[in-house]
Chains A and B, each alone.
Chain A
């Protein structure tokens, strides 16, 4: 019997209108990777926040190394060797990597006395320590870089090093792969395996790993626990289960993992892009002469490793970033320099890549977020006055239709689980008549049930005659949905092919710049 690193018993946590955790029992053995699985809003993050001391349970107890302990704040968790990589990164963009990593433990003591906080920072020895950690576990980070300049994959590594720097023995990874490319995810799994390896006579580290990707679960888990509606519905081993079984356990019904989809019937072009040139935030060319066309009734998938200009492309098509050259036409109308509102009013829907930054007003209630781009026109407004009842009715309907798990339509969107924030955006964009849908990573962070639903919706829109531009880092998603596939590499479209001709290998090579 391997010793338990951590055990929680009977954890209950209530929020206004929901029971996020209901008498949850969960344990973690030393040196194991324990996957926590569950639908959006099942209570995974809530449970982890409780273990990390960010929120207090209403009931239940927690044991560390067999000792009953009340984790009242993150300081205590950190000093007892618990580290957490949060679902939404907790890095300060304007600080450097070293600064982010040493923040709070500048002198390697959990509580630096106030006067010692006025001593000089020792960045040199911190950097040394970071370098040795990064070598030891294969986590490549550049200590002197500013976090704001790093791609998400690198930020992820910084988060992990941050936890290791605090000598974490228990590592909580909350959906770390949601924002990673398949290659980056594989690298992460290597790191995780290195972390749980015993070192000398010491146990390896123990990892709680949260993900929605069932393939990953089977690949890395030693043990799997499934939460549904705040309760533990079961535990299993990867050897004893299948993707379908896990999906059913999570959602409570059979889930179709492949999208049923008939042949496309493309008609006239809706979106025409010609020789588009766009700069990124650092004024470097990010989109370099892209031309493409999306027709009514087809899904054009844009595949590519993140950071090859996809974000800038989408932002310029939706009016969020002004191109420096080329043309964009929607339904025959020039929209190259048009405002987001004009583009929206032409019948364009946009599911942005960064849901918290571009998709939602987090502090506002769900019902208002559901009319963010239609609030000013009937039926939601009469002249200058908002029709509250219509807004509320609309919200109630969409919450039902799109299965957004929220205590009420008045709840601030910041209080929804990550996946339900995403569903809120999708519901809003799909709830009005649209001709063109621009979707960037539309299922990022969603559970299998919701992915099934959204994929179905995308295909349905297509069949209703909508033109769909789907940008995704998930090859599986592109392959499952797209009728034509464009591969983007270093700001250029390097190839466009019908979906039938695409294979994983072929796309993979193109994405890596081999042609």
Chain B
């Protein structure tokens, strides 16, 4: 096979894995502190829309990204208040956010953008990292990408360090496993959870920004397309660790990239089937391979002081 095809496939894998990785990191942040967040899909979709709109009207991609982050953070704050303050069932709260995202983005998309000729913004510029980008094989796969792809890779390691090598991460893990124990040591369980959920939401917001501002430059209805859920599968597959989740996201990303590639090659399989690849892989992985990974013990349970 042509070397360029392989390089292209791997580079595309990284691109396709980016929103999944971000979604999974968002999930890791929330669940490690004990809050289940299945609303990541909705947070992605909503911030994809708001980020795009902001970039469209301001003409600035940076403004777009900032708005996307804020949107993710605000939705997460809503989730946090519902789950932590009002002890609402966390799955229901997440579902509410997902449903709301579909309705709100669909409505405003029609109100704001219909009637105009397919609005679009310029996608974020491609960056080639000097020197590194010139390494044969590795260079084009790893070091010639758009900014959010690079940011994601950095975030993976940053989240890893925060979670496993800082006091904050230690407290997060304690609160997610045994909140009462943390409480007896004077740790504010609620504060830890609020902050983690909101930071997680902002990471989901970045995933939204990726979809509109980096990948296609426009907003389409329902464009998150289940990526928030695949991201959760990656989180589980990666055993709630950032690096593991990244690995899982790469696997799913590869499946998606392969689907795209094979479609271009036109090997006679209808493209709908190729498009199913990542979802099939998700089912297989969740059903079999990860049977033994256990979530943080307190995830999903509201904490109540005595």
Contact = CB atoms under 8 A, between A and B. Distances in A.
Contacts of B162: 118
B182 A103 contact: yes
A52 B183 CA distance: 12
Indicate the size class of the contact surface on chain B.
20 to 34
A103 B306 contact: no
A145 interface: no
A116 interface: yes
B170 interface: yes
B184 A90 contact: yes
Interface in B155-172: 161-162, 165-168, 170-171
A107 B165 CA distance: 13
A91 B306 contact: no
Output the residue of A49, A84, A95 with the most chain B CB within 10 A: A95
A346 B186 CA distance: 48
B180 interface: yes
- How would you classify the secondary structure of chain B's contact residues: helix, strand, loop or mixed? helix
A116 B296 CA distance: 25
A103 B177 contact: no
Contacts of A78: 185-186
A94 B181 CA distance: 12
Contact of A107 (B167, B181, B182): B167
Contacts of B186: 73-75, 78, 104, 110
Contacts, number: 80
Indicate the size class of the contact surface on chain A.
20 to 34
Contact of B166 (A90, A94, A95, A120): A120
Contacts of B165: 120-121
A119 interface: yes
B242 to A, nearest CB: 15
A121 B170 contact: yes
Given A92-B173, A121-B170, A103 B187 contact: yes
Contacts of A52: 184
A99 B178 contact: no
Given A103-B170, A117-B168, 12 more contacts: A74-B184, A78-B185, A84-B184, A90-B180, A90-B181, A91-B181, A92-B173, A104-B187, A117-B166, A117-B171, A118-B162, A120-B161
B174 interface: yes
20 contacts: A54-B306, A78-B185, A84-B184, A90-B184, A92-B178, A93-B177, A93-B297, A94-B296, A95-B174, A103-B174, A103-B185, A103-B187, A105-B185, A106-B170, A110-B186, A114-B168, A116-B167, A117-B166, A120-B166, A121-B166
Contacts of A92: 173-174, 177-178, 181-182
- How would you classify the secondary structure of chain A's contact residues: helix, strand, loop or mixed? loop
Interface in A85-126: 86, 90-95, 99, 102-107, 110, 112, 114, 116-121
Interface of A: 49, 52, 54-55, 73-75, 78, 84, 86, 90-95, 99, 102-107, 110, 112, 114, 116-121
B184 A95 contact: no
A99 B169 CA distance: 11
A95 B173 contact: yes
A353 to B, nearest CB: 20
A118 B158 CA distance: 11
Nearest to B167: A106
Output the residue of A54, A110, A112, A117 with the most chain B CB within 10 A: A117
Contacts of B168: 114, 117-118
A403 B187 CA distance: 37
A104 B166 contact: no
A449 B178 CA distance: 33
A202 B112 CA distance: 75
A55 B178 CA distance: 18
B306 A99 contact: no
